[in-house]
Structure 1
Amino acid sequence: MSDDHALLLLALNVALSPRLGSAAFSVNDCTALAPLDVGAFIDKLEMAHAIREAPLDAMPGTYFLRYGELMFHTRALSYRLTPDIHLGANDEALSLLIEREYADASALFNLWLDFATADAMRYFFDKCTAFNHDLDAKQYSEVRSTLREALKTLSVSQVWFVAWKCVKDAASLARLVYYTEERATATLPGKVRRTLEKAEKEGTVIRKWDRPDHQPSGALGMLFTELFGIDEDTPGADVLALLNASRAEHCEPQNAMLPPEAVRRWLCEALANDTGPQMLERFAGLIRDGYDVDGAVHALLAPTPTSSAAL
């Protein structure tokens, strides 16, 4: 399993504990996983074959025929943990997720963005509901895309403040005689985008907002905090740096064993084969990805698997 799917499965285990390895569950049972988008996270795990659909455990009426075609109610589907090929579906198999070293910074950062966007959109959705802003699917999707991009640099708590400010401003517009609630709501996607663009252009420091009492971070958010020290106040840029630092830390013991002869041989071969520019380009890419010098050299020296070995 990739690191992002493994961490997500570990979070699901926490959210369902001790049920995951022993019983079927539905999306509705997984609300403790994340503040929003629980169905999308479950879909990720199913596509990764970490869990699988369990029709025999589904409630009556989950599956039905419509015009001769088999249909189903998505949130009523039942799932079970896919058994490990050696250990089955038990606590011993799940313990491997706890002991695992999570080091794929890119995959984990994308999972963080998925979670952070869900955390931000839950707050935005709640504020819209409180101020009677009923966004259509296109407007909702536009705001979601804007906030996900912002979370690559900003923290979730900063994005909450932007959401609060924009929803409050739109509510003020709705009270004007020449505005309707519908027209005020339609301004929200543009307001959110312009607020973030203005802050970036002017270098404005966006204040942080406290987590609402009714919106816990869920099992996935708790694991990001426990394993990497990342929470709603961590800016997106720092999230990536922390994940890269974790990967470099896992590589450190192996890097210390690099023999100087191997490094000299590698440099001589690059000069002899006229592959210096390509070597430097790969080296620079690894440094950008968070490796220290020893780690980057070790990665470059690692033997490339042959086709038969890969099989």
Structure 2
Amino acid sequence: MSTIEVNDLWVSYASKEAVRGISLEVNAGQVIGVLGRNGAGKTSTIEAIEGYRPIAKGKITILGLDPIQDRKKLLPLVGVMLQNGGVYPRMSPLEVLKLYFGYYDDPIPVEELIRLTDLSRAQKTPYRHLSGGERQRLSLALALIGRPKVLFLDEPTAGVDAGGKGLIRQAISTYASQGAAILLTTHELIEAERICDEIVVIDTGEVVAKGSAEQLRERYGKSAITFRLSKSIDVAEISAKIGAEVTELEDLSYSVDPSASPSVISLLTSAISQLNVEIKELNAGKSSLEEVFIGLTDHLEANSDNANQSKRRRRRS
């Protein structure tokens, strides 16, 4: 049995179905990331799994327990990191960690948590004076203090500088290696690629893709070549020479469709060198995770544009 099991989850608000038949699993030692644009249903999904939101249909178990009916049993076994920590503004990290320390039977020592989340210099600073990154690191410390077997993280590196992001990612990876099951949401695709064992992409309340970052690139990405030159070229001439279509983009940049095979790359560089044109930049390979994500969910922007156009037409009429 997986640590977290979600089967055919449906969540509704009045007549609107926010989540439609989502299923996912998280095993001990895994970090699973849930990606989705705003309004895709990922927050509703996570809140339902945490037991904070009633479900219309489906089944959820955490450590074999129901998150709503068995809430008291699960409380000491689950850690939740929210974007807004809910800490009293005048309390310092040291004070709030000492307070939480008393809530658990076997908590992580406060000093260890302060060191892990790099809060030493800010440990006596009132919460209201902490930076965004310091607040996020404190929120992570509060989620970890009870040594939970399950950890929910909502945008763990939102508003955090580059150094803080690295520290939080390392803490998450370290805790997962100790056997915790971790489910997180994020808008940062680099973060998802670096720390998630599996990524679940949600769109309009449904799972549209699932797998590791590499698997998603392989399944949904395209092999592509893009290059930038020192001066313009005749794309028809180059296309004929390499047997693939070359398209001019902008600022002396070009793309080749459809393949990024070694033979096409070799023919391309040879053809350009014969023209005495310098290649300023050349990129070849699978689409990035960001490109894959946009490709899986880009219809939302089209729908939004259509809705905005309709509103403008109604205002003019």
TM bracket (short chain): under 0.3
**Structure-2-length-normalised TM-score:** 0.26
| Higher percent of residues as strand | 2
